[in-house]
Amino acid sequence: MVLCLEDDDERIRDMAVLFMGEFKLKQQGMLLYNLLPDMVGRLSAAELEEGAFRRVIRFVFGFIEKAKQTDALVDKLCQRFRTTDNQRQWRDVAFCLSQLTFSDKSVTKLGEEGNLKTFADKLHDDDIFASFQAIVAKAKKLPKSTDGNGKSVADEFEAKILAAREAGVVVAA
């Protein structure tokens, strides 16, 4: 259904937007949230043109409003890095992550060793790295909270991805 958001016929696009809005209202968005990881996988595997993929994802991810859903999606999307060896799909997953509304908690979760290991060896790709830099930029706009050493969560995450990009892979913490 989300592919209809990119249909040539304006009426079909409008109906798809209406449908997605109504679908989001069902069970306070839980149905849509539960389908998102599979939706991302199918859209990415469909070899949809990259611009179309990104437009659809921006629209659909705009419905994710709860911090708890974002935290869970961080884990689920990071696992997608492990399930494919396709560079385009890695780029798509990284882009999806960059579309989430992050909190300090979700940035911390993204930087945890288990999640970091799923994408650290992919940061050599400029598009993937740019998606993670976009996450850092969003995180730097959050109210400042620091770890015990006085570093912000955003600064700590940025240091981790820069180190991983330089090394090519992440070294266990």
Residues 52 and 93 in one domain: no
Residues 36 and 78 in one domain: no
* Domain encompassing residue 53: 1-65
Q: Which residue has the higher pLDDT, 132 or 42?
A: 132
Q: Which two tokens stand for residue 153?
A: 């969560």
Residues 45 and 101 in one domain: no
Classify the phi-psi angles of 57: left when phi > 0, otherwise alpha if psi is within -120 to 50, otherwise beta.
alpha
Residues 105 and 39 in one domain: no
Crossing angle of helices 67-82 and 87-98, rounded to 10°: 170
Planar angle of CA 62, 109, 127, nearest 5 degrees:
60
Residues 127 and 156 in one domain: yes
Residues 97 and 163 in one domain: yes
- At 121-135, the pLDDT tens digits run 999 999 999 999 999
Domain boundary among 44, 65, 86: 65
In this prediction, residue 5 has a pLDDT band, given cuts at 50, 70 and 90, of: confident
Residues 60 and 76 in one domain: no
Residues 31 and 95 in one domain: no
The separation between CA 43 and the C-alpha centre of its own chain, rounded to angstroms, equals 14
Residues 119 and 35 in one domain: no
Q: How many domains, in total, are found in the chain?
A: 2
Residues 75 and 25 in one domain: no
- How much of the chain exceeds pLDDT 90, in percent? 56
- At 52-106, the pLDDT tens digits run 999 999 999 988 888 999 999 999 999 999 998 899 999 999 999 999 999 999 9
Residues 111 and 149 in one domain: yes
